[in-house]
Amino acid sequence: MALQIKPRLPRTVITLGIVSLLNDASSEMLYPLLPFFLREHLGASVRFIGLVEGVAETAASLLKLFSGWLVDRVGRHKTLTFAGYALAGATRPLMAMATAAWQVFLLRFLDRVGKGIRTSPRDALLANACDESIRGMAFGFHRAMDHLGALVGPLLSSAILFFAPGNYRLVFFLAAIPALLSLAVLWWGVKEPKAPPSAVRAKTFSPLSYWRTLDVRFRWFLASVLLFTLSNSSDALLLLKAKQCGVGEAAIPLLWTWLHIVKSATTTHGGRLSDRWGRARTLLAGWLLYAAVYAAFAFAHTTWQAWLLFAVYGLYFGLTEGTERAFVADLVPPEKRGSGYGAYHFVVGVGMLPASVLFGVLWDFCGPPLAFLFGASLALSAAILLSVTVGSKGTVAQ
């Protein structure tokens, strides 16, 4: 019997995973503390805090679209990725010196600008670094490292605040350390690849012209992703539901940590499953699992149900996060991958805000059960759209 050798991830993929772990640890050291810092130290209103996040995430979505177009035109995947991480990292110590809410607003905006600059070039760099046969595993590994960073960051913050209670500024200063380490790892650990011939002809960026350059098969995939994203409200609302199910305030951070543990443990395996089983099948399984979880949340009312559903919700991430990103690379040629990832991230960003707003309105006026059932129905509709436009092997039906 022939010995089966497990495929190995390329050095670039592993390095980018470490970069993501370090950067996310840095980001998550301060992100959970920002609302309290703005409210308690700088006197900002809740409306202002919401405005900060809304504007920042919208800017990031738009820049992901532009940076994807730009990297296809000029190449320099590593350079743009480094610039994005550097800009975000520079805001961490500056946040510690902020004395007014508008300064935090500006720095948070610049942080998201950095994310917008780096995300599409980084994903294209990752996709081009690995063979198609392990692409799902590669993206799954990258997402697993990202979630691991999201676990480490809050733990580091808690440790610092244990010895320096209420000293948010110290946490912000120290958050610069993993950010600087991520830049060093990226600079010396990743080589700038030889860029494929540019497929971008336009000298100026036009979203409409940009859309027309995308393959019709890829547009169907994006349409399905947009429909699904409209079902995917903020996870903060799931935490609110968990509290209604009896999870105490002190246990909410543990529940959130539990979710990230499941995500981190399953995304590599979910990506590998898509390499073997097919992207479309794996993605459909994840979306259907999501619909089932949301439908179950509509009727959940006990603590153990909340913990169980959060675990299954983590499995949905494991099945879909690496798979979706690998699917983009499957449907877009190498010379257009920056544009492809820009369009993908833009669609996800555009759908997130109305998804949470609509869910919140339904929650307030019709009750949580209807809100969750509506989300489940949208997810099911997205799965149906994907199934009728995409073949079992991930190619779009003609």
Amino acid at 354: P
For the chain, list the domains and their CATH numbers. Answer: 11-187 (1.20.1250.20), 212-388 (1.20.1250.20)
Sign of the alpha-carbon dihedral angle for 252, 31, 313, 12: negative
Distance CA 30, CA 92 (A): 8
Query: Look-up: residue for tokens 């509290």?
Result: 243
pLDDT of residue 226: 94
> Exposed, middle or buried: residue 61 (CB in 10 Å: 0-12, 13-18, 19+)?
buried
Q: What's the mean pLDDT in 335-349?
A: 88
Q: What's the mean pLDDT in 337-348?
A: 89
State residue 396 phi and psi, 5-degree precision.
-75, 135
Contact 18, 189 (CB under 8 A): yes
Q: Which of 24-28, 53-57, 265-269, 349-353 has the lowest mean pLDDT?
A: 53-57
**284-332 pLDDT tens trace:** 999 999 999 999 999 999 999 999 999 999 999 999 999 999 999 999 9
**72-93 pLDDT tens trace:** 888 889 999 999 999 999 999 9
Contact 185, 18 (CB under 8 A): yes
Distance CA 354, CA 233 (A): 8
Q: Which of 65-69, 247-251, 263-267, 385-389 has the lowest mean pLDDT?
A: 247-251
Distances (CA, A) of 57 to 46, 114, 116, 356: 17, 11, 9, 13
| DSSP assignment of 24-86 | HHHHHHHGGGHHHIIIIIS---HHHHHHHHHHHHHHHHHHHHHHHHHHHHH--HHHHHHHHHH
> How many Cβ atoms from other residues are within 10 Å of residue 33's Cβ?
19
- The fraction of the chain above a pLDDT of 90, given in percent, is 49
Q: What's the mean pLDDT in 370-388?
A: 94
pLDDT of residue 25: 93
**88-138 pLDDT tens trace:** 999 999 999 989 988 988 998 899 899 999 999 999 999 998 888 899 999
Q: Which of 34-48, 218-232, 350-364 has the lowest mean pLDDT?
A: 34-48
Of 39-48, 112-121, 196-205, highest mean pLDDT: 112-121
The answer for residues whose C-beta is within 8 angstroms of residue 284's C-beta and 6 or more apart is 383, 386, 387
Residue 396 confidence (pLDDT) above 50? no
Query: Look-up: residue for tokens 């012209």?
Result: 209
Residue 223 confidence (pLDDT) above 90? yes
Residue 221 three-state SS: helix
Higher-confidence residue of 14 and 395: namely 14
Residue 345 confidence (pLDDT) above 60? yes
Residue 382 three-state SS: helix
Residue 250 confidence (pLDDT) above 80? no
**What is the C-alpha radius of gyration for the chain, rounded to an integer number of angstroms?**
21
CA 307 to chain centre: 22
State residue 390 phi and psi, 5-degree precision.
-125, 135
Contact 318, 269 (CB under 8 A): yes
Residue 34 tokens read as 């920002």
Distance CA 68, CA 345 (A): 10
CA 367 to chain centre: 28
